[in-house]
Amino acid sequence: MVRPKLEYPTKLELQILKVLWQKAPLPVRDVRQALAAAGRELAHTSVITTLNAMARKKYLRRSMQGNACMFAPRISREDVRGGMLSDMVNRVYDGSAKEVVLGLFDCGELDADDLKELRTLINQKVKEQNNERK
């Protein structure tokens, strides 16, 4: 069976993007070392294959620096987060942001400071929407 084409980065691709969002451009060797430091030991050839696939998907930009092939992200962390979250909200929660938030309250560890910060953000969002209606 053929795997369906994903619109968003795979788990490994996301790990690589996180490395490159912190510091880029990087050669394959440095990406591999960062993945290993995070507990993901991969063969050098596997990292090269994945980086090249990500470049074909337009997730990464590839350039040469001397003899080294350097990789840098072409997509931002915010774009990936927003796209993946929007997809999940629509597919899993039928478009209900309220259900997502309620689900986060049920499965997340929130202390009093977290709840206070969330309350402030919600109040700010309410004010913004009220100002838009005027």
Q: How far is CA 17 from the centre of its chain?
A: 7
pLDDT at residue 107 tops 60: yes
| Largest CA-CA distance found in the chain, in angstroms, rounded | 60
Contact assessment for residue 20 and residue 72, using Cβ atoms and an 8 Å cutoff: yes
pLDDT digits (tens, 9 = 90+) for 51-96: 999 999 999 999 999 999 999 999 999 999 999 999 999 999 999 9
Give the position of tokens 């795997």: 3
pLDDT top residue among 102 and 11? 11
Rg (CA), the chain: 19
Which residues, including other chains, have CB under 8 Å from residue 103's CB and lie 6 or more apart?
A: 93
Question: What percentage of the chain carries pLDDT values higher than 90?
Answer: 75
Highest mean pLDDT among 35-49, 79-93, 104-118: 35-49
CATH class name, domain 11-73: mainly alpha
- Using alpha carbons, select from 127, 100, 95, 101 the residue that is nearest to residue 115: 101
Domain spans of the chain, in order of start = 11-73, 101-133
Contact assessment for residue 48 and residue 8, using Cβ atoms and an 8 Å cutoff: no
Q: What is the pTM of this model?
A: 0.80
* Predicted pLDDT of residue 2: 57
Residues linked to residue 61 through DSSP beta bridges, in sequence order: 72
Q: What phi, psi does 34 have (nearest 5°)?
A: -65, -40
